[in-house]
Structure 1
Amino acid sequence: MQTKNSNISNFLIGEENTSYQQYFSGKSWLAPLTKNKDLNVPMNNVTFEPGCRNNWHSHTGGQILIAVGGVGYYQERGKEAQRLELGDVVEIAPNIEHWHGAAPDSWFSHIAIECNPQTNNNKWLDPVSDEEYAEAVGKK
């Protein structure tokens, strides 16, 4: 059953993201937004509970994130984290190690667009430690 939570965004939050839960610290939900595979543009609304973030990872084809609700963060390895709010867009080049997720005190939703889906593969890496997360969000 798809759930609509107007407190986060106007998009459905979808089902609990159990297929990828091993790559997240905390709970997340996933709502596919596109179904026509002929268009070749996979898009999903991903919703994070407060404090939830995914592991460090990269995409061989890149990724685009569009913040649609709440407050979140995006960080590339070796760089300072970026605070994300409604309407912010992040363009992630291929093979850049990064993570994204919710602020400690806010739910967060973003649209994730898979670039170059015919060749794009995720490479999941180590979890973002509590210390890394606290440092990333504490500087904001």
Structure 2
Amino acid sequence: MRIVRQSDRGPGEQRMTVTGQVWFEPVLPATDGTTMANVTFSPGARTFWHSHEGGQVLQIVSGRGLICSDGGEPEEIRAGDVVWIPAGERHWHGAAADSPMTHLAISLGTTHWAEEVV
């Protein structure tokens, strides 16, 4: 068992694998290949293409956004939605053009980052 106190989580950060303003706030530091973070996207901001070794769960906490799997069309996601992305599925996610969005991201295994979404 491991209890992670808020004071132990460390500061949030910006990353170079996003377009626009995106803030990552750790909830659970990497533990047994699992990470958890609250991720807040400014309107229109999104991740680069990426995939997860063991999959990813997103719980949309506030706002509206978009998610897209490679070869598919972007789909709207909004507060209250939960998304399961299977292991190895290449995808991106972010805020709608007219709304910020925050989601809790639970990532399993290594995240493989790719190019910017165009």
TM-score under structure 1 normalisation? 0.71
Give, as a single letter, the amino acid of the residue that structure 1 aligns with 2:106.
I
> Is 2:25 the counterpart of 1:31?
yes
Q: Which has more helix, going by share of residues?
A: 1
> Is 2:102 the counterpart of 1:128?
no
Deviation at 1:95, TM superposition (A): 0.5
Counterpart residue number, 2:69: 76
The 2-side partners of 1:102 and 1:126 are apart by 18
Deviation at 1:41, TM superposition (A): 4.7
Deviation at 1:36, TM superposition (A): 9.0
Amino-acid identity (%): 40
Count of paired positions: 108
Q: Structure 1 pair 98/107, CA: closer, same or farther in 2 (3 Å)? A: same
The 2-side partners of 1:108 and 1:92 are apart by 18
TM-score under structure 2 normalisation? 0.83
The 2-side partners of 1:41 and 1:123 are apart by 14
The 2-side partners of 1:123 and 1:86 are apart by 26
Residue 87 of structure 1, aligned match among 80, 95, 104: 80
Secondary structure of 2:66 counterpart = strand
Counterpart residue number, 1:113: 106
1:5-84 aligned within 5 A: 15=12, 17-18=13-14, 20=15, 22-34=16-28, 37=31, 41-84=34-77
RMSD (CA atoms): 1.8
Q: Structure 1 pair 26/41, CA: closer, same or farther in 2 (3 Å)? A: same
Counterpart residue number, 1:134: none
Secondary structure of 1:71 counterpart = strand
The 2-side partners of 1:50 and 1:96 are apart by 25
Deviation at 1:90, TM superposition (A): 0.6
Unaligned runs of 5+ in 1: 1-13, 130-140
Q: Which has more strand, going by share of residues?
A: 2
